[in-house]
Amino acid sequence: MPELPEVETTRCGIEPYLLGQTITGVTVRQPRLRWEVPDSIQSLVGQTVQQLTRRGKYILLHTPAGVALIHLGMSGSLRIVDATMLPRKHDHFDLLLASGNIVRYHDPRRFGALLWTADPVQQHLLLRELGPEPLEAGFDGDYLFTQSRSRTVNVKAFIMNAHIVVGVGNIYACEALFLAGIDPRRVAGRISRERYLKLANSIREILTYAIERGGTTLRDFVREDGSPGYFQLELKVYGRADEPCRVCQTPIRHLTQGQRSTWFCPVCQH
């Protein structure tokens, strides 16, 4: 599933093609995505794109009339293509631009979304209860420590909870916990403030570096220009079961937590 760095990489990639552009048409070939694409999405037609932002894993396309919310789901991607390029199978919607370019959404599993709101976007049902952005003010170790008190869930599930902090998906949770030296099985409420300070810094460091390197290449994800990201080549624990730890050479362990795979080093993380 595309995580925060993949979504931010996509946002940055398509932003130059969208800002200041007028949307001349919206073509929806498959409205049955995670949620039905609303007829109100046609409100985009004739609107000029003022801003392109991200909240969690949602790309927000701001216009004078309202905001379109785009989610990439598990396998979705956005491309900038020429208007003469014929759609492929699983190309579910196009945003036609006055420049002659098209923003095209491709999603084999149809778990993504295209939604519309004319109300303040931060009050949207899908956004209003989200936690802080991990790369912005309001997120730090003191915040994590305060939120973790009396929590009995494991620390990995805790930092993956979007109500606590947005955008820390499975890959980056595993990598941040390794960098912070924290065992993912530890109970969230029993971790010290000092260790949460280190974990918050590790989350920011991992996410920032992944964005700089173009996100993580998964089976279904490539960058908006069609080239793969590169961060996967440097993963320390994720997907490396039984391979030697890059620090201590101990075999990386794998387990399942809450139906999600977890990888960690039993020596470096405690």
Asked if the model's pLDDT at residue 34 lies above 70, the reply is yes
Q: Which helix (H) or strand (E) holds 263?
A: strand 260-264
Catalytic status, residue 243: no
Per-residue pLDDT reduced to its tens digit, 139-197: 999 999 999 999 999 999 999 999 999 999 999 999 999 999 999 999 999 999 999 99
223 included as an active-site residue: no
Amino acid found at 65 = A
Judge whether 93 and 29 are in contact, CB under 8 Å. yes
Give the percent of the chain with pLDDT over 90: 84
| CB-count exposure of residue 125 (10 Å: 0-12, 13-18, 19+) | exposed
Which residues, in sequence order, are CB contacts of 242 under 8 Å at separation 6+? 251, 252, 254
| CA atoms within 13 A of residue 50's CA, in its CB half-sphere | 9
The CA–CA distances, whole Å, from 80 to 103, 105, 253 equal 5, 9, 40
Taking a C-beta distance cutoff of 8 angstroms, is the pair 33, 114 a contact?
Answer: yes
Q: Which one of the listed residues 186, 246, 260, 266 is annotated catalytic?
A: 260
User: CA-to-CA distance for 223 and 65, rounded, in angstroms?
Assistant: 29
Q: How far, in Å, CA of 163 to CA of 13, rounded?
A: 27
Is 224 a catalytic site residue? Answer: no
How large is the average pLDDT for residues 59-71?
Answer: 98
CA 127 to chain centre: 14
Question: Nearest Cα to 77, choosing from 167, 8, 2?
Answer: 2
pLDDT number for residue 3 = 85
Model confidence pLDDT, tens digit, residues 222-257: 666 666 665 776 899 999 999 999 999 999 999 999
Tokens of 250: 């101990």
pLDDT of amino acid 206: 95
Percent helix, strand, coil in the chain (nearest 5)?
Answer: 30, 25, 50
Cα distance between residue 154 and residue 132, in whole Å: 20
Find the catalytic residue in 2, 5, 134, 184. Answer: 2
Question: Could you say which of 54, 55, 57, 79 is catalytic?
Answer: 57
Residue-level pLDDT at 224 = 66
Task: Summarize pLDDT for 101-125 with one digit per residue, the tens.
Answer: 999 999 999 999 999 999 999 999 9
Instruction: Report the interhelical angle of 193-212 vs 141-148 (nearest 10°).
Output: 120
What pLDDT, on a 0 to 100 scale, did the predictor assign at position 218?
54
pLDDT at 2: 78
Residues in the chain: 270
pLDDT value, residue 74: 87
**Residue 270 contacts residue 181 (beta carbons within 8 Å):** yes
For this structure, is 175 an active site residue? no
pTM: 0.90
